Structure 1
């Protein structure tokens, strides 16, 4: 990897420029390089990985961003094996905790359906939702039956039409916060249905064993991206913030202008999220539908905090470290401790509205106070703490996924992966199956690389 200014490259030097060194961009770059194509990856951050970002607490590597892989995530698992990364199971032994309406109970399974939960109401709503999920075309949700009707209402308003109970709405609120970084009232029902179908169904998305939270990457998910980038070497340039993309159809070239210099190639693959495309000056400009996509497919906002203890004391009490709460700074926790002997590490998902605007010390105090209410006085004495607020990230903020309001899917969704002349799009958002996951990002990188490779055809590969 390099961070020095980009060398000014002649038109014959490069085959493809890739914008973004996340899982989609690095996958595309690796595949094209293996075909003998000359590629250049431009990354605006000073690191690779995109929304896969690792940190450390009490000497333990933790995932500040994307975390889990499922057994069905074959593409990302294959990528991990190719760079000698291995998985480790998500800890799931013992009882889970539910704190709702001031009542604290234990539960097991993918979703709590007892205690303060109105199980009959929740089952009714989930059955209705799952039936709608099955009608959605994940590759083109806007062409699904009743697409306009489903896109004209928010997920929250749909819950209103079903007269969903308070506890059911609270559970669906947790789902919305985790998946889209927003409340149910802020996201189109069609968008919610598409993402759930793409993720293998609601049960798969929420489950640990056999589900989407089954495994983590030992050493952190960012390690996959780091190893891919190391193999690509100086083909990856960090700190290269893309300012403009100029296409010359007569010459058959695309010039990418960045803070470090310019580069030119016949094709570009951009992995920037739709909302972040507004920061780039496209010449010619994007067509109206693509401009609408960039304006309306805004990113959600979700924060994560990790609290470390001498040991995972909750395990001795028969608890898994997995919990759901209906109020407070965080709304869900998981145990990401390296072992029974310690340190014990709890990962919390935090509501940006109650978290991001405070100082680091205040954020820490809020999380620890809530953990103490949930797990008892032993939670008052942590040995370390780290957090990351994705909504206030200095570059390409927001996550984990787009939080799009009603009408934006049917109005602008068709432009999601539609090439703009010589610019092709990748990134988890553009995936069909597994959209919103690391697996979707890898699949989108493969798709874009195959499309560009076909266009390059039998033309002689440029020499690195």
Structure 2
């Protein structure tokens, strides 16, 4: 997802790149296996509720969109089978162990401004916890020109608020109503701009530019030239055009017992059948139904299918007939989200801190998750790793952290390579320039007996847990309406 390589690579370059990719994939599967050992597998209630016979609907994908759609359809009286390729539910959420703590390696934070996930939290009476470094940092530091800058917290926030207000100016013309699924005419005109393009237009002073750049690289989870300006305008509008509300919505409140607690409650409530470790290789439509073939060669027949898989992975499945070109093109290009999230255990006094760095650096936003006089845990987000930086190696991460906190040492790290996970091929969805205007209609379109859901194609909080639930609810309504027609 980085800058294109101009010119033909040499044989040595090809060999080295192949070896690096192979090593990265081996490391991914090693880390994934170790992390999954501590994950929760909410199978009991769903297995007990398994229905015999041909299902009315097969849901492919067990993230929040797929589980929401399955629950709603089961409540509507449909026989539902959910297939998940991984050995756990949750999709790009992943609640697991990090030493004596539980951590979220994927989607984490929720907020009452996100109506769909908040309704689920209230429905199941789930408790919240807070992340101190994003909620109330005692220190804010950022890197500019290779040097760490620090001013009083209120002053740094004023700089950041001013930069964000200028960056997002005119958002009300593009997103007067942020839950409309498609871009306005004003939005289409701006959709070719990257975040980096917009930042250049502002001509900010270097200190303020790099402060803003760290936040923007984190938001799109890539270098700012890869993320679309319209995506940031949409986030801004959803957060009432207020930076502190945006911080609250994106990185303040999380589920006290983890995202798996919500998934478990939804599955138990739904009463539909779940099958884990069941990857789909082919989906073939006929006049009277759909035939699904799994990677093990099993055939499953159903009346309708809800595809609730990330947009980046669609081309890994053989669809007959072929899907709309917009879906295929999006899967070829991928969205921008391709960076890393890492938990960093440190030894030494750690307060509530927030640190930012532009996308020329391997980590762009780091803040305190747990603090203490003898050590604590940081959460870090970074763009696709630069050569020589290994997010899985404490010795590689420590020099960067010590630029900000020279008196701490890094003792342990835990990350997950979502871009190497074949069932995600990326992190949260942030569109690249022109993808929103070019592909959204095709991405959301029903195709015969196939319906499509997912956080990646949500109208509102796209890329968030809320967006996944929103999409699952909407698609379930559409499928239920067709089932009532007895098609």
TM-score by length of 1: 0.83
Cα 1:109–1:248 shift into 2, 3 Å? farther
1:97-246 equivalences under 5 Å are 97-101=140-144, 102-108=147-153, 112-114=157-159, 122=163, 125-126=166-167, 128=169, 130-131=171-172, 133-135=174-176, 138-142=179-183, 144-198=184-238, 200-201=240-241, 203=243, 206-208=246-248, 211-229=249-267, 235-246=273-284
SS in 2 for 1:376: coil
1:37-436 equivalences under 5 Å are 37-83=78-124, 85-91=126-132, 92-101=135-144, 102-108=147-153, 112-114=157-159, 122=163, 125-126=166-167, 128=169, 130-131=171-172, 133-135=174-176, 138-142=179-183, 144-198=184-238, 200-201=240-241, 203=243, 206-208=246-248, 211-229=249-267, 235-249=273-287, 251=288, 253-260=289-296, 261-309=298-346, 313-315=349-351, 320-326=352-358, 328-337=361-370, 344-354=376-386, 358=390, 360-361=392-393, 364-377=394-407, 379-380=408-409, 382=411, 384-404=412-432, 406-436=433-463
Cα 1:133–1:61 shift into 2, 3 Å? farther
Cα 1:297–1:287 shift into 2, 3 Å? same
Q: Residues of 2 paired with 1:98 and 1:25: CA distance?
A: 40
Q: CA deviation at 1:457?
A: 0.8
- Does the 8 Å CA contact 1:138/1:197 hold for their aligned counterparts? no
- Does the 8 Å CA contact 2:71/2:271 hold for their aligned counterparts? no
Q: CA deviation at 1:71?
A: 2.1
Q: Residues of 1 paired with 2:178 and 2:128: CA distance?
A: 31
Cα 1:188–1:307 shift into 2, 3 Å? closer
2:16 corresponding residue in structure 1: none
1:451 corresponding residue in structure 2: 478
Cα 1:245–1:310 shift into 2, 3 Å? same
Please list every run of 5 or more consecutive structure 1 residues that lacks an aligned counterpart in the other structure: none
Q: Residues of 2 paired with 1:290 and 1:110: CA distance?
A: 45
1:19 corresponding residue in structure 2: 60
Q: Residues of 1 paired with 2:114 and 2:445: CA distance?
A: 25
Q: Residues of 1 paired with 2:292 and 2:388: CA distance?
A: 34
SS in 1 for 2:419: helix
The alignment status of 1:35 with 2:76, answered yes or no, reads yes
Q: How many residues align?
A: 436
SS in 2 for 1:369: helix
Higher relative contact order (CA 8 A, sep 6+): 1
Cα 1:259–1:82 shift into 2, 3 Å? farther
Q: Compare 193-202 and 445-454 and name the one that shifted more.
A: 193-202
SS in 1 for 2:377: strand
Give me the CA root mean square deviation: 3.2
Please list every run of 5 or more consecutive structure 2 residues that lacks an aligned counterpart in the other structure: 1-41
Q: Compare 418-427 and 406-415 and name the one that shifted more.
A: 406-415
Q: CA deviation at 1:14?
A: 1.0
Q: CA deviation at 1:359?
A: 7.5
Q: Residues of 2 paired with 1:138 and 1:81: CA distance?
A: 22
Q: Residues of 1 paired with 2:177 and 2:454: CA distance?
A: 21
Q: CA deviation at 1:218?
A: 1.1
CA deviation string 1:158-208 (max 9, x = no partner): 332333443344244323322222222122333433344345546256423
SS in 2 for 1:352: coil
